[in-house]
Amino acid sequence: MLYRALVKMAEKQPDKVAVAGDVRSLTFRQLLGEVRDTAKHLQVLGLKAEEAVLVGIPPSPDFYVFFYAACALGATVIPLLPSGKIPQTTFDCQPVLAVGDEIFVKAARAGCSSLRVTIGWSKLTGFDFPRSNRGPFRRRKLIRSERILGILTSGTTGEPTLHFTSAEALLRHGDLRAQVLGMRSDDVLLSTRPFNNLSSIDAPVILPVVCGCSVIVREKFQRFEAADIIARERVTVIYGVPIIFEMLASIPRTHPGDFSSLRLCVSGGAPLPRFVYDKFYQRFGVGIRQRYGGTQFFPAFNFDTSGIPGTVGNISRPFPMTVIGDNDRPVALGSIGEIVLDYAKLRDPFWRSCLKTNPDRRGRYIHTGDLGRVDADGNLHIVGRKSPFIKVGGNRVAPAEVENVLRSNPKVRDSIVFAYHAGKHDEAVHAVVVPSDGLTPQELLAYCAERLDPYKCPRRVDFRKTLPRNAQGKIVRHRFQTSPSS
Query: If pLDDT is split at 50, 70 and 90, which confidence band does 157 have?
Result: very low
Window from 124-138, 172-186, 203-217 with minimum mean pLDDT: 124-138
Calculate what percentage of the chain has a pLDDT beyond 70.
95
Which CATH topology does 390-479 take?
GMP Synthetase; Chain A, domain 3 (3.30.300)
Query: If pLDDT is split at 50, 70 and 90, which confidence band does 158 have?
Result: very low
**Which tens digit of pLDDT belongs to each residue from 180-207?**
999 999 999 999 888 887 878 888 999 9
Q: In angstroms, how far is the first alpha carbon of the chain from the final one? A: 42
Task: Spell out the domain ranges in the chain.
Answer: 2-164, 310-385, 390-479
Rounded distance between C-alpha atoms, residue 184 and residue 186, angstroms: 5
β-sheet bridge partners, residue 461: 431
> Residue 462: is its pLDDT beyond 90?
yes
**pTM score above 0.95:** no
| pLDDT of the residue at 213 | 97
Cβ neighbors of 1 (< 8 A, separation 6 or more) are 142, 143, 144, 167, 168, 171
Element (H, E) at 396: strand 395-397
For residue 306, give the amino acid letter.
Answer: S
| pLDDT of the residue at 134 | 64
| pLDDT of the residue at 53 | 97
- Which of 411, 453, 456, 459 minimizes the C-alpha distance to 433? 411
Rounded distance between C-alpha atoms, residue 384 and residue 289, angstroms: 18
Element (H, E) at 407: helix 399-407
Which CATH topology does 310-385 take?
Luciferase; domain 3 (2.30.38)
| pLDDT of the residue at 156 | 36
Query: In the predicted model, what is the mean pLDDT of residues 57-63?
Result: 95
The CA–CA distances, whole Å, from 155 to 92, 158, 166, 473 equal 15, 6, 20, 24
Query: In this structure, what DSSP letter does residue 379 have?
Result: B
Architecture of domain 2-164: 3-Layer(aba) Sandwich (3.40)
